[in-house]
Structure 1
């Protein structure tokens, strides 16, 4: 059993209708800030649990969970005398699997015969007369939330569903925030409770009651309560201190989770995230197909701890559905780019048809900044750090000192893995430029990039290199010097004297300068980047930075 699709209308950042298809196992949502990643996770958790920010929505209903633009349009219409229906929120969870026939029907926005849950927050028609009277006198200046109702139903139109009857349970883990209930973490308390059998819960309740009896029988407590009784004149009834037993599950609120004698909320947030995730993954009710909603697991975790957490997720996710939001290339690479969902302008793009070689490459060599390319407006891919600095300086010279990233253009060093990144760019339609050396063999370069040159050229992908092969007599040891990399190409454009000035050197022989620049690539690139001199750049570099 798993969630196959979610449909959202007018909830927070989503104006109008939004649909997202989900896979059985791992789903990774990436996108810029404010793209709606957290809203999707909140919507799923709300529809399955009735909880928003750790509190029941029935008690916390506010206009601020509605899309701002939708409310603004509604109020503007009313102020202009245009009759406008109050906006609504709709969250639909489509479920697939066994033993869910009681949730099957066409009571959904698609009118399709499907199984699922619907949560609708809408105007309650029983207040229609009162609402119309309020409109007549121009009394509505904000969303009349007091006239709204929350309707929780199945696609079979059963309006008596409860959290207990919903077949899929959600576990929301957000390492960026902590919500406590009387000092104990709400999530931990709920998970531990669900680990227990019913007879064990009874035993805990009885032990808690015995603790109250023991507390009240203590001589010091008796003495204090007698003193209170004698001193108080506020009531004819006896006033005393005791242990809270008023609610049915009082033990849940008063007990606290400890780790090595340390209260859970005093443990580091990274460790909290790991423990919560492991508890959810090892939950005894795994066969109930719980969905784990994990927000930005990279928060507060060291590289080693994050690697451990990801390994746990991969090893124990075969019978779980997991939805993760992240800004970490390491997380997305390790868990598999084929599970990635790019969220951009409320539209989604998937990378689930990458070649097996590329999937395995980024999973095993997970340090590559794939998300930098995926999330930027345009990427310029270069081979190394020195190339990155030189390209950035060329861009700044052509754009009044602005760095590329200030224009949404990211210059990314990818080693020799250009083709792996281009495969991703091609799937996403991402604007990408490759800046590469010809290394003295233009034909080999053309062969390597044959899928992106000439008749196979892609509109969004440009390959930039120098088509001229330079030669010379310099040898370093027994090896012939390569005149067809970035450093000799820049030296060729600027000449010996200018390069000496740029680098703060005084070489009399151009070959000595060639050898110095080859041995000190990054140092020379830094000096080029920081120089106040006018610099000439090779034509293929200038071509790469053109908008």
Structure 2
């Protein structure tokens, strides 16, 4: 069996009927702060953590219930967990027997249900309505205060099995069979590790003592008991020798020490004080302590270890304890049937490499110690290390929770979806997985946009980090793969705003070539020689496909693309000059022909003629092409031709990555300079950023 689904109503950050599906093995729950990750673990614990405190307070209610509803009916918290049959159910013979009384579906795969309710008893409801009726207005705080003052102490909880409408309370023995081990983000594991005096370590030691015998499949139960009893007897005999040695060493000192008892009258009726004792093997557990032993044979106490390593050691002991607690041979009918491991923010104490190794261990050992694992995290390292199908994304917007399942949005029977899922799985590295945590995403084609877009936003007096917006480099025009994760027309998609910033890159194809192919061209070359060339205003097929799909209602409104003006735009670098033809400061040190570009910018600022500027071009093939294109352009205005002349030269002179780094530094420094130069972000990027924060 496994927990396949949870439905939560009116609990903390969850409003009515929030539904979340789980995987049979590992579940990695991610999302921005206050999305509800910790509250989800708490909700699971209210049902499955037998030892947890189950009564709640006024602050455990979702406070966004309408005052009119509070007036009519006392609020109730309801958490319902669905348990389904596992794929490998035959390996776990006790599952069905444990959950049999909670079944809601008998046919295979069976389903069962456990429901936690925190509610005001029916006999108190009439009085509740009477007190609420005298409160007027829409101030919700007044109603909650009245509930807290008059009724919260009267609330009770129940856990029902099967259909909750029948109100059949679950047998405590059923709940005891679930082993819910929870490690919260703020934990002190050192106090639980140092010596065998600790309960956890003592339990584990006791289970694994004589493990070679206990785990010997060649011996029957009676043989194992007999052999272990023999070892215990041998230990007791050796312990008696130790006690006798102590007694002999105390022989002369004992008389001196105990004479005071005789002199004070503590001994009477011919009684004499003496020493005696025995040592059981279990009593010596407290003498054992965990140590770290190095190759050089140096030993240090575990308490001197780093916090991250101690957390891993503690988790390993916890898994060992879960193995012990699930052993029917060791505990008989007291054994646990369904061990659940719940870890909150493992990255709190583990560096990235350890996070990855830990996740790998959990996956490889899934089912051996913990049948189901729930992990909440803010770490892109962990997200990048797990499979898409194991990720659950919580995204809260205006107090409404959207639950996304990145693995479910791809229909692998469809070849395109199968390709997209494979692409995302391969390229969802630490930087790209950040998009699953952000509240908004700007997808860009390359490193230049990734570096410059956040700086451009600051020129609009917008800090993308403050709005939790991530700029993700798709490393080319691969937006279609990413967008499937966020297209809410697809079930399981993540509902957050996404923009794609893309280049037009116009093209032309020479009709007289033996094998005609479209090649990139400048905007000013478009349509100037239709007899010789075929033209494309944009080589970006994504734009056309996107618009077609959106017009058919196949793409949701939370996704939008932005690009340059058709017929005038080309790339980001090209657009930077078109938006800033007066700005010499953007000519960075890494740009080739920097001197020539500054001359052209100066000529533009001084309103020199187009011919004057064309004369500055060299005799290279590319410059001759630019000259010819500008002279034959269909555009009427020389100012526009001059801007495109500079933009073409700039585009051919920059190295994408290096220039973007230098330019971002120049623009950042300029923001801090009260006498700085004016810079205008490209229009299409400005529009994309403003739409994101609208």
Q: Would the TM-score normalized by the shorter structure come out above 0.5?
A: yes
Unaligned runs of 5+ in 1: 234-241, 471-482
Partner of 1:462: 560
Residues 501 and 262 of structure 1: CA distance in aligned 2, closer, same or farther (over 3 Å):
closer
Residues 339 and 175 of structure 1: CA distance in aligned 2, closer, same or farther (over 3 Å):
same
Q: Secondary structure at the match of 2:681?
A: coil
Following TM superposition, by how much is the alpha carbon of 1:194 offset from its aligned partner in structure 2, in angstroms?
Answer: 6.0
Preserved contact between residue 344 and residue 375 of structure 2 (Cα < 8 Å): yes
Preserved contact between residue 504 and residue 540 of structure 2 (Cα < 8 Å): no
Following TM superposition, by how much is the alpha carbon of 1:347 offset from its aligned partner in structure 2, in angstroms?
Answer: 3.9
After superposition, what is the alpha-carbon deviation per residue over 1:506-542, rounded to whole angstroms, capped at 9, x for unaligned? 9441278656533533112321343232223333223
Following TM superposition, by how much is the alpha carbon of 1:25 offset from its aligned partner in structure 2, in angstroms?
Answer: 1.9
Q: Which of 546, 561, 567 pairs up with 1:452?
A: 546
Partner of 2:503: 437
- CA distance in 2 between counterparts of 1:162 and 1:453 reads 59
Q: Which of 650, 658, 662 pairs up with 1:523?
A: 662
Residues 1:274 and 2:315 are matched in the alignment: no
Following TM superposition, by how much is the alpha carbon of 1:309 offset from its aligned partner in structure 2, in angstroms?
Answer: 1.4
Partner of 2:634: none
Partner of 1:296: 345
Residues 1:314 and 2:363 are matched in the alignment: yes
Q: Which of 67, 81, 85 pairs up with 1:93?
A: 81
Following TM superposition, by how much is the alpha carbon of 1:340 offset from its aligned partner in structure 2, in angstroms?
Answer: 2.0
Partner of 2:413: none
Residues 17 and 488 of structure 1: CA distance in aligned 2, closer, same or farther (over 3 Å):
closer
- CA distance in 2 between counterparts of 1:207 and 1:72 reads 69
- CA distance in 2 between counterparts of 1:214 and 1:147 reads 59
Partner of 1:236: none
Residues 377 and 204 of structure 1: CA distance in aligned 2, closer, same or farther (over 3 Å):
farther
Preserved contact between residue 9 and residue 15 of structure 1 (Cα < 8 Å): yes
Following TM superposition, by how much is the alpha carbon of 1:37 offset from its aligned partner in structure 2, in angstroms?
Answer: 1.0
TM-score by length of 2: 0.58
Partner of 2:61: 67
After superposition, what is the alpha-carbon deviation per residue over 1:176-235, rounded to whole angstroms, capped at 9, x for unaligned? 422546966766666666667697999999989x999969967789899969989999xx
- Root-mean-square deviation (CA), in Å? 5.3
Matches within 5 A, 1:348-497: 348-351=403-406, 352-354=408-410, 355-398=417-460, 401-416=461-476, 417-426=478-487, 427-441=493-507, 445-454=539-548, 456=550, 458=555, 459-468=557-566, 484-495=570-581
Following TM superposition, by how much is the alpha carbon of 1:349 offset from its aligned partner in structure 2, in angstroms?
Answer: 2.4
Q: Which of 535, 543, 547 pairs up with 2:687?
A: 543
Bigger Rg over Cα: 2
- CA distance in 1 between counterparts of 2:59 and 2:245 reads 46
- CA distance in 2 between counterparts of 1:12 and 1:64 reads 10
TM-score by length of 1: 0.71
- CA distance in 2 between counterparts of 1:371 and 1:207 reads 56
Matches within 5 A, 1:24-423: 24-52=24-52, 57=53, 63=57, 66-67=60-61, 69=63, 89-97=77-85, 99-101=95-97, 103-105=99-101, 114-120=111-117, 142=149, 151=158, 154-155=161-162, 157=168, 159-162=170-173, 166-174=176-184, 176-178=186-188, 180=191, 257-260=290-293, 264=302, 266-278=304-316, 284=323, 285=326, 288-317=337-366, 320-345=371-396, 346-351=401-406, 352-354=408-410, 355-398=417-460, 401-416=461-476, 417-423=478-484
Q: Secondary structure at the match of 1:115?
A: strand
Preserved contact between residue 502 and residue 533 of structure 1 (Cα < 8 Å): no
- CA distance in 2 between counterparts of 1:326 and 1:541 reads 32
- CA distance in 1 between counterparts of 2:347 and 2:440 reads 25
Aligned residues: 501
Q: Which of 547, 572, 583 pairs up with 1:498?
A: 583
- CA distance in 2 between counterparts of 1:126 and 1:251 reads 56
Preserved contact between residue 293 and residue 322 of structure 1 (Cα < 8 Å): yes
Partner of 2:135: none
- CA distance in 2 between counterparts of 1:46 and 1:225 reads 57
Residues 17 and 487 of structure 1: CA distance in aligned 2, closer, same or farther (over 3 Å):
closer
Following TM superposition, by how much is the alpha carbon of 1:366 offset from its aligned partner in structure 2, in angstroms?
Answer: 4.1
Following TM superposition, by how much is the alpha carbon of 1:435 offset from its aligned partner in structure 2, in angstroms?
Answer: 1.5
Following TM superposition, by how much is the alpha carbon of 1:342 offset from its aligned partner in structure 2, in angstroms?
Answer: 1.8
After superposition, what is the alpha-carbon deviation per residue over 1:20-46, rounded to whole angstroms, capped at 9, x for unaligned? 221212222112222221222233234
After superposition, what is the alpha-carbon deviation per residue over 1:89-112, rounded to whole angstroms, capped at 9, x for unaligned? 55443322354255345699xxxx
Preserved contact between residue 37 and residue 394 of structure 2 (Cα < 8 Å): yes
Preserved contact between residue 418 and residue 434 of structure 1 (Cα < 8 Å): yes
Residues 160 and 486 of structure 1: CA distance in aligned 2, closer, same or farther (over 3 Å):
closer
Q: Secondary structure at the match of 1:406?
A: coil
After superposition, what is the alpha-carbon deviation per residue over 1:323-348, rounded to whole angstroms, capped at 9, x for unaligned? 22111223223211222222233442
Preserved contact between residue 173 and residue 276 of structure 1 (Cα < 8 Å): no
Preserved contact between residue 296 and residue 324 of structure 1 (Cα < 8 Å): yes
- CA distance in 1 between counterparts of 2:35 and 2:383 reads 17
Q: Secondary structure at the match of 1:517?
A: coil
- CA distance in 2 between counterparts of 1:224 and 1:161 reads 58
- CA distance in 1 between counterparts of 2:254 and 2:194 reads 27
Partner of 1:476: none
Residues 1:509 and 2:596 are matched in the alignment: yes
Residues 449 and 402 of structure 1: CA distance in aligned 2, closer, same or farther (over 3 Å):
closer
Following TM superposition, by how much is the alpha carbon of 1:48 offset from its aligned partner in structure 2, in angstroms?
Answer: 2.3
- CA distance in 2 between counterparts of 1:206 and 1:84 reads 69
Residues 452 and 520 of structure 1: CA distance in aligned 2, closer, same or farther (over 3 Å):
same
